[in-house]
Chains A and B, each alone.
Chain A
């Protein structure tokens, strides 16, 4: 079992939809949870960062962590075609972030 599991998709939604992206993790020691966005042929870009359980909101993006169920979510409101990318979740206990395989999101006009 991989430490961070993520459905690769692709997830295709119409413009304006609310998008829900999810990951599960297995290591109880993980305390830091991140979402990275990666456009095609580019490096990942840090999108959201949370420590421990709870919600964090930044504009159209909300990150949610439930440590009791080891579940990580990213919600995107009013999705735009420019949001089309691969979204990588990552978790970290000490020193080394572990990444999921990424979910490909396509937002069509």
Chain B
């Protein structure tokens, strides 16, 4: 079975640009979460979606937005990129939302110059 897939794996943007990151969950998983991981730190929660509804939002500015599609795939959008947005963006899928069993993708490494 395919795991969580994310695209692109690496990308470089300049300040002020916009980025869209994509995630396909494990088949049968209806929940997708997004995390930001800065080097040397643990993953920081950005969004969680379940059945296309936003279930939770972390402490991130409105420049960050996300959505989940009918096939349960998801997009994370970041507008007006800042240098501090450089990080590994992780997508995780799960069967349910309340047990903490997350299955992560390999991440999208974003570098903002």
Hey, which bits of chain A sit against chain B, CB under 8 A?
A: 4, 6, 8, 32-34, 36, 41-46, 49, 51, 88, 90-92, 94-102
Contact = CB atoms under 8 A, between A and B. Distances in A.
Interface of B: 4, 33, 35, 40-45, 48, 55-56, 58, 90, 97-107, 109
Nearest to B91: A43
The prevalent SS among residues of B at the interface is: loop
Contacts of B44: 99
Nearest to B96: A95
24 contacts: A4-B42, A8-B40, A32-B99, A34-B100, A34-B101, A42-B106, A42-B107, A43-B104, A43-B106, A43-B107, A44-B43, A44-B90, A90-B42, A91-B100, A95-B55, A95-B56, A96-B58, A97-B100, A97-B102, A99-B35, A99-B44, A101-B40, A101-B41, A101-B42
A94 B41 contact: no
Contacts of B109: 41
A58 to B, nearest CB: 14
